[in-house]
């Protein structure tokens, strides 16, 4: 059981920039209110080689920020991320090509003014994985592997549909021959039938290349489908992490339970369904509640929850849960 | 069987573009009873949103309703003078769009715009309007509604804004609400709240609801009947449970099989090959034939609509077996 990717106490704060007035006031000794957002607080986990860890949570829970830190795109404010014991970032810069990323919106992540063949080969040429002379054959090979016609290498991103663009984005990430792929909502903007095609492509390539993955999505059924283990995030922290089959069958944290309950399931019987929404609203990350962040919405909250924040604790079956009443 | 509130017959909405005629909606017929919830599902470009816009008379050029009729409470809405349509829209037919940010006016308070929505259709004093607005906001689950009337849209969260948009749609007690992907941009926990509220409202007030969505799971737990659209046509319709349990059209089957929830974790999904055809160059026969596993020579001719005794309809030469 060797961890390939290890995150230790990852934290990310965002400090809003002070206005010039505030800076002058601060220089004269006034106390200026800085509203720091703690997008990710003290998150630790490990991903074993060949494993896919699914990361789920609602908007603003910090899952994308966490993904960007794992991918080495965003430097953490605290803690560290390592691959095989080697740090992914040093001095604010990424030090490895072993991790690559596929983003949600392939329209925003592909340069609209470059031919997609050049987009795919740029990284590998820069890192000496392929020579400029061999690049066309290399690009053709990758386009074939993601199910595109090699002849499209000379086209621009706008000439592709959303699903095809996501194939290009996958080819670009994998052409760097990474061992680890961070996928941030890779199918969120796609139609159902196209989503199935991209998920199948992902499953095929993951098996063929033996990839280790961090798969981020708000869609619980997609995460269930691709993940070996899942981590549930709420307001910047992991509240439950463990084997996907166990968590989906018997969630322990009240938030995980509520989240799974609130997802509309495909009903094949005519029976009328009662929706069971989670009470209340997601609190602002600017002023997270004291104690357990979920306590204002939790049916089982007690005085203890209002006072002390629960830490992730291992359960007998290996699942870790951060709840006083799990 | 009550008389239908809405009867759409052979509706055709085409977009006359420079590249040709895009038949976004091409021969759509359905009816809706008071208090009924109808799910309209399909993928991007299937014509589901254009169908919704056609019903409320908001198809912009180069789009145009070129044929068919939309009979609402005994009156044909196609060809209705704009001022008569305006009197209807927002009062008897209301709509909720995907993006509440785009629906709400950013420079007016919620109370001001809700009062305008009321006063556009009837003489209502400012005070009475505020009271009705607050009552409606309370009904869709906005706490301390009266004090929030003086807030601007940006002071609400995304889920709250969508609830404000729904409250505005409900203000005049419409008989029909057309909701176009109203929960797509929202998180699951907020989506569940809004679905619960919409269902309760339809049941309590007898408002008919057309719920346009790409999400089969949402539709399956909300709607009474479902229409499946593909390339501008309704390819299958019927009671939602029966259509989803035993689809007769191969496209409906393909959509269901594409869902990760329908497969064993980690197994390949049974995907539909290819992509939807361009609306500018539809094949002459069945538009789904190029992607269909059951297609043969017969599919080069347009499939005839088949109506079953149980209220189901499908457009296919080679339908799947009916459930035993």
The pLDDT tens digits for B31-84 are 999 989 999 999 888 999 999 999 998 888 889 999 999 999 889 999 889 899
Chain B residue with Cα closest to A58: B187
- Count of structural domains, chain B: 2
CB contact under 8 A, B43 and A278: no
**Domain presence at residue B323:** no
**Domain presence at residue A225:** yes
**Domain presence at residue B58:** yes
Same domain, B163 and B199: no
**Domain presence at residue A108:** no
**Domain presence at residue B38:** yes
- Asked if A260 and A56 touch (Cβ cutoff 8 Å), the reply is no
Residue B220 has pLDDT above 60, yes or no: yes
Tell whether B80 lies on the interface with A, counting CB pairs under 8 A.
no
Same domain, B138 and B186: no
Q: Which of B151, B171, B191 is where one domain is finished?
A: B171
**Domain presence at residue A250:** yes
**Domain presence at residue A104:** no
CB < 8 Å to A274, chain B = 196
**Domain presence at residue A129:** no
CB < 8 Å to B181, chain A = none
CB < 8 Å to A278, chain B = 189, 192-193
Q: Which residues of A94-104 are buried (b: 16+ CB within 10 A; e: fewer)?
A: bebbbbbbbbb
Same domain, B154 and B237: no
Task: Please report which confidence band the pLDDT of residue B280 belongs to, taking 50, 70 and 90 as the band edges.
Answer: confident
| Three-class secondary structure assignment of A47-110 | EECCCEEEEECCCCCCHHHHHHHHCCCCCCCEEEEEECCEECEECCEECCCCEEEECCCHHHHC
In this structure, what are the phi and psi dihedrals at residue A240, rounded to the nearest 5 degrees?
-155, 135
**Domain presence at residue A295:** yes
**Closest alpha carbon to A202 in A247, A169, A236, A229:** A169
- Asked if B16 and B64 touch (Cβ cutoff 8 Å), the reply is yes
Min Cα–Cα distance to chain A from B300, Å:
23
Task: Please report which confidence band the pLDDT of residue B262 belongs to, taking 50, 70 and 90 as the band edges.
Answer: confident
Residue B300 has pLDDT above 60, yes or no: yes
Cβ within 8 Å of A, B 156-185: 157-160
* pLDDT reported for residue A28: 82
Residue B2 has pLDDT above 70, yes or no: no
Chain A residue with Cα closest to B264: A225
Q: Which of B144, B171, B198 is where one domain is finished?
A: B171
* pLDDT reported for residue A14: 87
Same domain, B145 and B209: no
CB contact under 8 A, B221 and A203: no
**Domain presence at residue B230:** yes
CB < 8 Å to A190, chain B = none
Q: Which residues of A201-218 are buried (b: 16+ CB within 10 A; e: fewer)?
A: bbbebbeeeebbbbbbbb
Tell me what the pLDDT averaged over chain B comes to: 89
Min Cα–Cα distance to chain B from A211, Å:
14
* pLDDT reported for residue A292: 93
- DSSP string of A124-140? HHHTTSS-TTTHHHHHH
* pLDDT reported for residue A269: 62
Same domain, B225 and B78: yes
Structural domain of residue B62, as residue ranges? 6-92+174-315
Same domain, B301 and B272: yes
Would you give the DSSP letter of residue A237?
E
Using CB atoms, which residue from B196, B220, B242 is nearest to A266? B220
Q: CATH no. for residue A250?
A: 3.40.50.300
Same domain, B127 and B229: no
**Domain presence at residue B205:** yes
Q: Which of B171, B189, B220 is where one domain is finished?
A: B171
Same domain, B34 and B70: yes
CB contact under 8 A, B192 and A278: yes
CB < 8 Å to A273, chain B = 221
CB < 8 Å to B260, chain A = 196, 199, 221-222, 224-226
In order along its 326 residues, chain A shows pLDDT tens digits of: 578 999 999 999 988 777 788 778 878 877 766 678 888 999 999 999 999 999 998 888 889 999 999 999 999 999 999 998 888 888 888 888 899 999 887 778 889 999 999 999 999 999 999 999 999 999 999 999 998 999 999 999 988 888 889 999 999 999 999 999 999 988 887 888 888 999 999 999 999 999 999 999 988 999 999 999 999 999 999 999 999 999 999 999 999 999 888 888 777 665 556 667 777 777 777 788 889 999 998 988 999 999 999 999 999 888 999 999 88
Task: Spell out the alpha helix ranges (H) of A213-281.
Answer: 220-226, 244-249, 254-262
**B204 vs A17, which has greater pLDDT?**
B204
Same domain, B14 and B163: no
**Domain presence at residue B182:** yes
**Domain presence at residue B1:** no
CB < 8 Å to A281, chain B = 157, 159-160, 190
State how far the Cα of B146 lies from the Cα of B130, in Å rounded to an integer: 8
Lowest pLDDT segment from A70-74, B183-187, B253-257: B183-187
Min Cα–Cα distance to chain B from A125, Å:
32
Min Cα–Cα distance to chain B from A28, Å:
33
- Count of structural domains, chain A: 1
State how far the Cα of A179 lies from the Cα of A174, in Å rounded to an integer: 9
Same domain, B232 and B293: yes
In this structure, what are the phi and psi dihedrals at residue B72, rounded to the nearest 5 degrees?
-115, 120
pTM value is 0.86
**Domain presence at residue A165:** no
CB < 8 Å to A218, chain B = 187-188
Structural domain of residue A219, as residue ranges? 3-24+32-98+178-321
In this structure, what are the phi and psi dihedrals at residue B153, rounded to the nearest 5 degrees?
-55, -35
Same domain, B73 and B146: no
State how far the Cα of A88 lies from the Cα of A98, in Å rounded to an integer: 9
Number of helices (H), then strands (E), belonging to chain B: the values are 11, 12
**Domain presence at residue B97:** no
Same domain, B150 and B265: no
Mutate to test the interface with B, among A167, A191, A211, A297 (most CBs of B within 10 A): A191
Using CB atoms, which residue from B221, B265, B268 is nearest to A244? B265
Using CB atoms, which residue from B160, B188, B258 is nearest to A193? B258
Q: Which residues of A245-269 are buried (b: 16+ CB within 10 A; e: fewer)?
A: ebbbeebbbbbbbbbbbbbbebbbe
Min Cα–Cα distance to chain B from A90, Å:
35
Which strands form B6-17's sheet, in the order they lie side by side?
B20-32, B6-17, B63-72, B75-76
Tell whether B46 lies on the interface with A, counting CB pairs under 8 A.
no
Cβ within 8 Å of A, B 201-240: 214-218, 220-222, 239-240
């Amino acid at each position: 059981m060797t961890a390939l990717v290890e995150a230790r106490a990852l934290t990310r704060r965002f400090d809003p920039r002070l206005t010039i007035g505030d800076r002058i006031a601060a220089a004269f000794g006034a106390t200026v209110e800085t509203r720091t957002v703690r997008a990710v607080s003290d998150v630790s986990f490990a991903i074993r080689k060949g494993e896919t860890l699914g990361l789920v949570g609602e908007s603003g829970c910090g899952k994308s920020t966490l993904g960007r830190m794992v991918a080495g795109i965003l430097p953490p404010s605290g803690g560290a991320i390592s691959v095989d014991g080697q740090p992914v970032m040093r001095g604010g810069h990424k030090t490895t090509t072993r991790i690559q990323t596929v983003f949600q919106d392939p329209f925003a992540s592909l340069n609209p003014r470059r031919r997609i063949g050049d987009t795919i080969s740029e990284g590998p040429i820069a890192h000496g994985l392929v020579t400029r002379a061999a690049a066309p054959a290399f690009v053709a090979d990758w386009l074939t592997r993601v199910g595109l016609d090699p002849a499209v290498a000379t086209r621009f991103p706008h000439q592709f549909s959303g699903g095809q663009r996501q194939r290009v984005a996958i080819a670009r990430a994998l052409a760097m021959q990474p061992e680890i792929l961070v996928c941030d909502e890779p199918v969120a903007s796609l139609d159902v039938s196209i989503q199935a095609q991209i998920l199948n492509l992902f499953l095929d390539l993951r098996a063929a290349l033996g990839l280790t993955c961090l798969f981020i999505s708000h869609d619980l059924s997609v995460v269930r489908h691709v993940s070996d283990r899942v981590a549930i995030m709420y307001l910047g922290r992991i509240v439950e992490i463990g084997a996907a089959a166990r968590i989906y069958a018997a969630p322990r944290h009240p938030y995980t339970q509520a989240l799974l309950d609130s997802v509309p399931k495909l009903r094949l019987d005519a029976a009328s369904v009662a929706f069971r929404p989670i009470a209340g609203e997601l609190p602002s990350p600017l002023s997270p509640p004291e104690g357990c962040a979920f306590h204002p919405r939790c049916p089982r909250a007690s005085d203890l929850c209002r006072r002390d924040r629960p830490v992730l604790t291992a359960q007998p079956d290996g699942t870790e849960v951060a709840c006083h009443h799990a | 069987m009550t008389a239908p509130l809405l009867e759409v017959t052979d509706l055709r909405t085409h977009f006359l573009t420079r590249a040709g005629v895009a038949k976004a909606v091409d021969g759509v017929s359905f009816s809706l009873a008071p208090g009924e919830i109808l799910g309209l599902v399909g993928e991007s470009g299937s014509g589901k949103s254009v169908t919704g816009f056609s019903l409320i008379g908001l198809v912009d050029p180069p789009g145009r309703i070129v044929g068919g009729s939309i009979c609402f409470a005994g009156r044909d809405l196609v060809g209705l003078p704009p001022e008569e349509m305006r009197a209807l829209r927002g009062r008897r037919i209301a709509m909720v769009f995907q993006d509440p940010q785009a629906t709400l006016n950013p420079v007016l308070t919620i109370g001001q715009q809700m009062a305008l929505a009321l006063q556009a259709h009837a003489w209502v004093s400012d005070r009475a309007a505020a009271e009705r607005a607050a009552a409606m906001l309370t009904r869709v689950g906005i706490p301390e509604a009266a004090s929030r009337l003086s807030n601007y849209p940006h002071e609400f969260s995304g889920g709250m804004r969508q609830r404000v948009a729904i409250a505005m749609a409900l203000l005049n007690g419409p008989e029909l609400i057309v909701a176009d992907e109203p929960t797509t941009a929202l998180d699951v926990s907020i989506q569940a709240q809004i679905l619960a509220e919409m269902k309760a409202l339809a049941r309590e007030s007898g408002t008919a609801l057309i719920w346009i969505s790409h999400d089969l799971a949402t539709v399956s737990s909300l709607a009474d009947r479902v229409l499946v659209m593909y390339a501008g046509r309704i390819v299958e319709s019927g009671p939602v449970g029966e259509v989803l349990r035993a689809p007769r059209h191969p496209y409906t089957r393909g959509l269901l099989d594409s869902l990760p929830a329908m497969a064993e974790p980690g197994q390949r999904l049974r995907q539909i090959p290819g992509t939807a055809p361009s609306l500018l160059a539809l094949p002459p026969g069945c538009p789904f034939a190029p992607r269909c596993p059951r297609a043969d020579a017969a599919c080069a001719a347009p499939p005839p609509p088949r109506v079953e005794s149980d209220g189901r309809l499908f457009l296919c030469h080679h339908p799947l077996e009916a459930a035993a």
